[in-house]
Structure 1
Amino acid sequence: MKTTRNENVLVVIPARGGSKAIPLKNLRPVGGRSLLARGIEAAYAAPSVTDVVVSTDHSQIRNEAHAHGARVIDRPAALASDQATSESALLHALDTLESQPAVVVLLQCTSPFIDPAHLESAIRTVLDGGADVCFSVTEDHSFLWAAPDGAVQAVGHEAAFRPRRQDREPQYRETGAFYALRTDRFREAGHRFFGSLAFQVVPPADAPEVDSFEDLALACTQAARREAGPAAEPGPGIDVDALVTDFDGVHTNDLALVAQDGSEYVTVSRSDGMGVSRLRRDGVPVLILSTETHPVVAARAAKLGVEVIHGVDDKAARLAAWLAERGLDPARVAYVGNDVNDVAAMGSVGWPIAVADARPEALAAARVVLRKPGGRGAVREVCERILDTQTRSAPPALLATTP
């Protein structure tokens, strides 16, 4: 009787709710999708994967996993502490199954740029018997140093010999993105490095890990650039019916000149004015919404010919009221911000946008990160991208020129 070879592949994504550096880190958006969603999508896009489960202790993470088609395994509190290992979550997941997969993959969604082709290659290496473990690494040519007990010493190289990069054998840094493991031997060993090991080398651009708000901000910026592509200028279109912006740090560079008598002066970009003018001419409502009480906010809004609401403490609530007054769908509204007091308002619309030099918290909340910083063309850029979308979506007859 012919025996069918077991080629079942289970991807397990540990995603506990108690991350400390970034609360609910796994739900943070990068490029418009949560880290968890990106991990699930990458797993399902690898052809050999037969099942994806998320191991979690948190209801919001559970809901996000279900929304993106993954099964959920409820992780006990004892396995969701700061001291709990990823291996313990993996073993717990395997213990819940009636039958064991040939390969189990530990996938960590804090790596937002997993290429399904690399994941598939690692899985096939283990399935086809090339290794017991295959995990993601990237080349690293760094000179490493350590200082045990205060004594500085070279690690992995001779301090007196500094060969050129091209003359050195590459080292490989573990990315933490994925580990494909032969299931039976993993259960015997209880840890992820056992038996014969193999690398899956990924490019440095695919290797970032998100462990801090700074990492998250960089990942958001990178995601925006990857979406735009190297030749896109200034970026993909933004399909909205209205534009709302903060003032300080968006229309300005977030700096102020203070005179001896206490008078304050800010600088703005003249090019922003042309962008706003063209947007208004096309019938797109524009609102400046700011916590700043200084009269310069209203003066700039009057110069641009747009609505202004300033001296506002709760931007999200005031924005919701403005949208309701005008019958606008929040999903089709853009809000451009730069700082922590913009995050709630950004989260209430379909197109949260951050300027290039925004705070990490604002960058993390953004669906789009602009290429221009505040006060130096950011408003013009977002206006152009809205106009570009309207032009491309207009009926052909409207695009024809009069002979």
Structure 2
Amino acid sequence: MKNIVILPARGGSKRLPNKNSMLLEGIPLLVHSIAYAKNNRDIIDEIYVSTDDAEIKKIALDHGVQVIDRPEHISGDLEPTITALQHVLESIENNVTNVIVLQPTNPLRPENLLKEAFAKFINNRSSSLFTVSRNHHKLGTIVQDCFVPINYKSGQRTQDLNPLYFENGLLYICDAKQIKKGIIMDKNSFPYLVNHVFANVDIDTQDDFEYAAYLLNKKTTL
């Protein structure tokens, strides 16, 4: 069984330019996920970064991981992650069993998350697994200028909310055969529950970046 990690890290970002190479506590954002992958070498055989950016490529190579140059036609803002994953698999040997996706924009992960999630993935025999977290907000939609609750009734206590969950992006594990078919998640994918403050970090803006820096600094000073 061969397990690889793919880090999709294109260069373009409109809301936070060059975020994947920005320094988070003195370390490029991308490198936090590279380091996490390296700390799980008992599971991971190879680490790949998929990018269209020269600076990101240099950072990845300097930190000892392999780089797959992503073509321009699959590097746009609206391009789904699956095409980058497929391109990596097409560019390397075909004996990959499982793919673990670590998004650089989720730089903070619980230390044992991958080991525990991978064990669940193998034991559950799922075609894929993704991490989720419980949402504790009173949610609703607006219809014709009226607020319509989704997960609660008016006057209901927060602790009694009907549970809803969100895809937090901390990690994805998928059978390589499924990725080749163009699928990361389907109705049979296993939702792995993560109740941790790191699940709230997904860097897309400067405020997100500063929140991640705060949590990382807090962690290292404990």
Instruction: Report the RMSD for the aligned CA atoms in angstroms.
Output: 1.8
Question: For the residues of structure 2 that align with 1:163 and 1:132, how far apart are their CA atoms?
Answer: 37
Question: For the residues of structure 2 that align with 1:164 and 1:217, how far apart are their CA atoms?
Answer: 28
Question: For the residues of structure 2 that align with 1:111 and 1:124, how far apart are their CA atoms?
Answer: 21
Alpha carbons of structure 1 residues 148 and 44: separation in structure 2 relative to 1, 3 Å: farther
1:202 aligns with 2:194: yes
CA contact (8 A) 1:14 1:86 kept: yes
**Partner of residue 80 from structure 2, selected from 66, 85, 100:** 85
1:170 deviates by: 3.5
1:164 deviates by: 4.4
In the alignment, which residue of structure 2 is the partner of 1:182?
A: 175
1:33 aligns with 2:27: yes
1:177 deviates by: 2.0
TM-score by length of 2: 0.91
**Partner of residue 213 from structure 2, selected from 220, 243, 246:** 220
CA contact (8 A) 2:138 2:158 kept: no
Q: Letter of the aligned partner of 1:214 in structure 2?
A: D
Question: For the residues of structure 2 that align with 1:105 and 1:195, how far apart are their CA atoms?
Answer: 19
Name the % identity. 26
Q: Letter of the aligned partner of 1:179 in structure 2?
A: Y
Instruction: Classify the secondary structure of the residue corresponding to 1:152.
Output: strand
Q: Letter of the aligned partner of 1:200 in structure 2?
A: Y
Instruction: Classify the secondary structure of the residue corresponding to 1:112.
Output: coil
CA contact (8 A) 2:8 2:103 kept: yes
CA contact (8 A) 2:136 2:158 kept: no
The total of aligned residue pairs comes to 220
Q: Letter of the aligned partner of 1:186 in structure 2?
A: I
Question: For the residues of structure 2 that align with 1:195 and 1:171, how far apart are their CA atoms?
Answer: 16
Instruction: Classify the secondary structure of the residue corresponding to 1:217.
Output: helix
1:74 aligns with 2:66: no
Instruction: Please list the CA deviations of residues 313-350 of structure 1 after superposition, one character each: whole Å capped at 9, or x if unmatched.
Output: xxxxxxxxxxxxxxxxxxxxxxxxxxxxxxxxxxxxxx
Higher percent of residues as strand: 2
Instruction: Please list the CA deviations of residues 132-166 of structure 1 after superposition, one character each: whole Å capped at 9, or x if unmatched.
Output: 21111222221111114433211133x3351441x
Structure 1 gaps, min length 5 = 1-6, 230-403
TM-score by length of 1: 0.52
Question: For the residues of structure 1 that align with 2:144 and 2:11, how far apart are their CA atoms?
Answer: 36
Runs of 4+ in 1 over 6 A off after TM superposition: none
Q: Letter of the aligned partner of 2:102 in structure 1?
A: L
Question: For the residues of structure 2 that align with 1:147 and 1:226, how far apart are their CA atoms?
Answer: 39
Q: Letter of the aligned partner of 2:39 in structure 1?
A: A
**Partner of residue 96 from structure 1, selected from 91, 94, 101:** 91
In the alignment, which residue of structure 2 is the partner of 1:131?
A: 126
CA contact (8 A) 2:10 2:51 kept: yes
In the alignment, which residue of structure 1 is the partner of 2:184?
A: 192
The 5 Å alignment of 1:134-153 reads 134-153=129-148
Q: Letter of the aligned partner of 2:208 in structure 1?
A: D
Greater relative CO (CA pairs within 8 A, separation 6+): 2
1:45 deviates by: 1.4
Question: For the residues of structure 2 that align with 1:195 and 1:184, how far apart are their CA atoms?
Answer: 17
1:181 deviates by: 0.7
The 5 Å alignment of 1:307-386 reads none
1:129 deviates by: 4.2
**Partner of residue 160 from structure 1, selected from 151, 154, 157:** 154
Alpha carbons of structure 1 residues 161 and 48: separation in structure 2 relative to 1, 3 Å: same
Larger radius of gyration: 1
Structure 2 gaps, min length 5 = none
